[in-house]
């Protein structure tokens, strides 16, 4: 394999490289696509708090976008954070939304559930 040959060349140049060829790639677990949007007054650490809470459930953040601009509220800046998540079906989505809701309440920001794909929201 060309990649392994090139890695061996790099190893000969002094780099420590470990590579292993696998027969079949591992399949990603079944997951739901979830989009969450957060809005509020901007301050340092909000993205960190949100991403830490979400990743604590073993959820992959596929995309995260932020927009910051003047809001007219006390002359400060407001933000909008949009996330696209891949939530494994073994994860309790209600528990995730409860934890994120508690976080947004504590931070004084708003949570908007934009899209829940294949989720029964009639509970």
Q: What's the CATH number where 72 sits?
A: 3.30.70.260
- Decide if 19 is inside a domain: no
- CB-side exposure of 41: number of CA atoms within 13 Å? 8
Under 8 Å between Cβ of 64 and 54: no
SS3 22: coil
In a domain? residue 100: yes
Q: Is residue 73, in this structure, part of any structural domain at all?
A: yes
Determine the pLDDT at residue 119: 46
In a domain, 75, yes or no: yes
Q: Determine the structural domain holding residue 98 and report its residue range.
A: 31-116
Question: Considering the domain boundaries, does residue 6 fall inside one?
Answer: no
Q: Which of 8, 81, 3, 1 is nearest to 40 (CA)?
A: 81
For residue 33, the 8-state DSSP code is E
Overall number of domains in the chain: 1
Instruction: Determine, yes or no, domain membership for 69.
Output: yes
The number of beta carbons lying within 10 Å of the beta carbon of residue 100 is 20
For the segment 22-67, what is each residue's pLDDT rounded down to a tens digit? 777 667 678 889 999 999 998 899 999 999 999 999 999 999 999 9
Is 36 within a domain?
yes
């Amino acid at each position: 394999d060309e990649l392994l040959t090139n890695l061996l060349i790099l190893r000969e140049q002094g780099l420590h490289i470990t590579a292993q060829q696998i027969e079949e790639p591992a399949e990603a677990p079944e997951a739901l696509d979830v989009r969450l949007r957060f809005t509020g007054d901007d301050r340092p650490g909000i993205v960190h708090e949100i991403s830490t809470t979400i990743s604590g459930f073993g959820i992959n953040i596929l995309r995260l976008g932020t927009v910051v601009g003047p809001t007219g509220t006390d002359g400060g800046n407001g933000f909008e954070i949009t996330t696209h998540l891949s939530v494994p079906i073994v994860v309790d989505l209600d528990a995730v939304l409860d934890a994120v809701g508690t976080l947004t309440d504590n931070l004084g920001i708003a949570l908007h559930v934009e899209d829940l794909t294949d989720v029964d929201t009639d509970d």
